Structure 1
């Protein structure tokens, strides 16, 4: 199980998993390390792993991506026209393995230079249980039960630069600055059992949420992505700390 405390830019999960594979040094024969700045190699290997290792691979310490099990996700938006405390739990992400990396700029020998990754996909679904309380576009909302959030036509971007830290005489990477972004083309929301099971109010609110999804997303996007920038900074730094930076590449 993976435990998160905010809704994740989906491509980050993929990138961190792939980075973990590399630093573990446990690549099977069908997956290879890449040279510095070899964008095409990294894209090919990244997408190969998504397609061929989606059920997980113990030799690579890779968890199953189809579906990806998530213990907890939370969006907390304290101000604006959307003020909510939304929590998902016992959830699964479906469709993650269908994403494709299409750009990988950087990957320099000098880690202080910026790196930028871009991935996109058609559909991804978060299915599980939820609990919500607050206001959406100034209307009250509350409830808990089963939920399905489906994102379509998404594009994810992650940009970071780093610095070197010395560990036992070896240079390890450490993230200095990280910025993420997620663009989506459509969002379908289905919350069951809103307003203590009042079907009419629940149905009406779901219609309202889907009719106004873009405005809602624009309100919560910064808080949601910002929370996970710090989470994944920690994950990437933990990955870098396992192996000297120059051993992540084949030169």
Structure 2
């Protein structure tokens, strides 16, 4: 019984501020160097996962289903795993003084994605169809993120900050390798032609197909960020 009481007191102690205070280092809103460091440290914690808050690791990042309904191409990715977000770093971070918006850039040296796919349509100029296993390996990627923020009242009477929405601008900077097995039911000549085109025109192909993938991945990371923000009040990490 004593052990149970001690454990409960410890849990209350953690969630009454000690844990939350350790999540985001406090900064003045005009201290950009402090904000850069604090957000960088917090993002590392989010990617690593915070079990106490129900936040699973984001590297590897598992996504059950991604669906792309493009004008000339339809595709679905199933049970996909993405590796590499832990190596991305944040730059050009800008938080409005009113805490209503945030802008930042994710600079990723490499992302690897694998899973199952179904695809049908045209890959710019070539017909493509098939289903099976796939692998993608990117080079450097620049992901610009713009989000609106909102303040909502918490059950303890203190406000909570949350990311309300987000817009992405994703730019591949170096070559991407596409590998889709069993295209055209295994017809090698047709499959080779599609892979040669996709890997030779990686920039154009990436810009055609990338948005549903990045929206799903960044959306899941932002959902985890909101779990962390819910555990602490801006009063604890924004200094006057």
The aligned residue for residue 103 of structure 1 is: 92
Q: Deviations over 1:40-89 (max 9, x none)?
A: 33433444466677653423543223322221222221x2xxx1111111
Whether 1:44 and 2:31 are equivalent positions in the alignment is no
Answer with 1 or 2: which has the greater Rg. Answer: 2
Q: What CA distance in whole angstroms lies between the structure 2 residues aligned with 1:49 and 1:162?
A: 17
Give ranges in structure 2 of 5+ residues lacking alignment.
1-16
Give ranges in structure 1 of 5+ residues lacking alignment.
1-23
The aligned residue for residue 118 of structure 1 is: 105
The aligned residue for residue 70 of structure 1 is: 63
On the 8 A contact 1:120/1:154 being kept in 2, the answer is yes
**RMSD between aligned residues:** 3.6
Whether 1:205 and 2:194 are equivalent positions in the alignment is yes
- 1:23-42 matches, cutoff 5 A: 26-27=19-20, 32-37=24-29, 38-42=31-35
Q: What CA distance in whole angstroms lies between the structure 1 residues aligned with 2:185 and 2:112?
A: 25
Q: Please, what TM-score do these two structures have when normalized by structure 1?
A: 0.70
The aligned residue for residue 15 of structure 1 is: none
Whether 1:158 and 2:145 are equivalent positions in the alignment is yes
Report deviation, 1:155: 1.2
Q: How many residues align?
A: 220
Q: What CA distance in whole angstroms lies between the structure 2 residues aligned with 1:201 and 1:140?
A: 9
Which moves more between the two structures, 161-170 or 207-216?
Answer: 161-170
Q: Please, what TM-score do these two structures have when normalized by structure 2?
A: 0.73
Report deviation, 1:182: 1.2
Q: What CA distance in whole angstroms lies between the structure 2 residues aligned with 1:237 and 1:94?
A: 18
Report deviation, 1:217: 2.7
The aligned residue for residue 179 of structure 2 is: 190
- Secondary structure at the aligned position of 2:140 is classed as strand
Report deviation, 1:239: 4.5
On the 8 A contact 1:129/1:146 being kept in 2, the answer is yes
* Structure holding more helix per residue: 2
Q: What CA distance in whole angstroms lies between the structure 2 residues aligned with 1:233 and 1:32?
A: 16
